[in-house]
Amino acid sequence: MSLSDFNEALVAKAKDREAQIAADAERKKMADKLVADREKRLREARIAEQIIIDDARRQQQIRDNIAYNEEYQRLKYKRDLADAGAFEDDKAKKHANDALSSFKWKKATIINNLDGIKKSAVDAANRDPRILDHYFKAMEDKGEPVTTISGMISVLEEKLLNILFIEVIDEQGMSPEALNYFSGWVAPLLYPRPIEASDAIRDKNFAERRSDAVFTDAIVSGVSNMFLGGAPVLPVWGQVNQAPVFDLPKKTMTETLLDLQQKANGNL
């Protein structure tokens, strides 16, 4: 092989080497580009995925916020309703308490007046127990038969307290809630006071004295018819002109009554 051929072979070999290097470089470049493209696509995919995740989180957060706000509004409405109910309940209780105070004040006036009536009746009965017939007759005419002063006062007290109950309701104009409270609170106050033992003893004493007075009237009537030709000797019980009656000996009046009874029996 000549020198020129050898040089040409070296040159050719060098060119092949350069071509090989260039080809390797191009292949590396293409490989790097493919790797870069793949990483880019992966990055883009990750970014897109993160965007979807972030959007889903935002949407979930929005839904959570809406749900929280709805729950807050529901609880707030419930609290406001409870507060309003508590306010209305307190308002109803206050109104009912005002009505109860009015009832108690007016009841005290009624009790005071009834005690005055009882005292007048007792004083009158002490003078003449038969005067009670007028009280009892007046009660009977009203459909409330009674036989004692205590019974009369108890009936009057119960009637007046029930009338007062209705009057207070009309005056106060309470709501149904307030009326419910008032009715419950006032119920124990609608009963008349219990009859005291001393009053029961007094009533019994008046009943006995009235019976004695009626018995005495029968005797006086018999005396009047027999000895005085029916002339009245007892115009008004308890007045000063009773003297002719009380001057008659009790024994004589009793014997007269027995004599009249015996004559009546003989006539039978």
CA distances from 79 to 64, 67, 74, 87, 91 (A): 22, 18, 9, 12, 18
Alpha helices in 128-175 (DSSP H): 132-141, 149-172
Query: How does pLDDT run across 103-126, given as a tens digit for each residue?
Result: 999 999 999 888 888 888 888 888
Start-to-end CA distance of the chain, whole Å, equals 199
Query: Rounded to two decimals, what is the model's pTM?
Result: 0.53
Give the residue, 83 or 243, on which the prediction is more confident.
Answer: 83
How much is the mean pLDDT over the chain?
76
Domain boundaries of the chain, sorted by first residue: 23-195, 196-268
| Amino acid residing at 80 | D
Query: How does pLDDT run across 233-268, given as a tens digit for each residue?
Result: 444 444 433 333 333 333 333 443 344 344 334 433
What is the C-alpha separation between 13 and 174, in angstroms, rounded?
A: 120
How would you label 161-193 residue by residue, b for 16+ Cβ within 10 Å and e otherwise? beebbeebbeebebeebbbebbeeebeeeeebe
What is the C-alpha separation between 17 and 23, in angstroms, rounded?
A: 10
